[in-house]
């Protein structure tokens, strides 16, 4: 089970797993990426959306979103194939 709460522009996630709580803190950009993934967007759509939201170069966003998706997968926050 994952609990989430927003404080200013920081998203806090707490994952309860086997009686242990694991916490994650995401800045505004990380929260936007997670939201897009949770909406079912594939990695290409997330990259495009983040590049447009933040007016950032696609190459930079591609590297950042790919690394972020791998971290989310490792932590069990997203499932499936979220890589290029």
Q: Give tens-digit pLDDT for 23-62.
A: 677 788 988 898 888 788 999 999 999 999 999 999 999 9
- Whether the pLDDT of residue 7 is over 90: the answer is no
Q: What is the 3-state secondary structure (H, E, C) of 5-58?
A: EEECCEEEEEEEECCEEEEEEECHHHHHHHHHHHCCCCHHHHHHHHHHHHCCCH
- 22 within domain boundaries: yes
- 51 within domain boundaries: yes
Q: Which domain holds residue 14?
A: 2-74
- 30 within domain boundaries: yes
Say what the pLDDT of residue 59 is.
Answer: 96
- 83 within domain boundaries: no
- 8 within domain boundaries: yes
- 60 within domain boundaries: yes
Considering only residues 43 and 2, tell me which one the structure prediction assigns the higher pLDDT.
43
Q: How many domains would you assign to the chain?
A: 1
- 80 within domain boundaries: no
């Amino acid at each position: 089970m994952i609990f989430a709460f927003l404080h200013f522009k920081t998203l806090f996630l707490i994952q309860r797993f086997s009686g242990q709580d694991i916490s994650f803190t995401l800045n505004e950009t990380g929260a936007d990426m997670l939201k897009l993934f949770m909406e079912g967007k594939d990695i290409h759509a997330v990259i495009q959306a983040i590049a447009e939201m933040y007016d950032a170069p696609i190459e930079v966003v591609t590297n950042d979103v790919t690394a972020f998706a791998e971290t989310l997968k490792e932590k069990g926050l997203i499932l499936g194939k979220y890589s290029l």
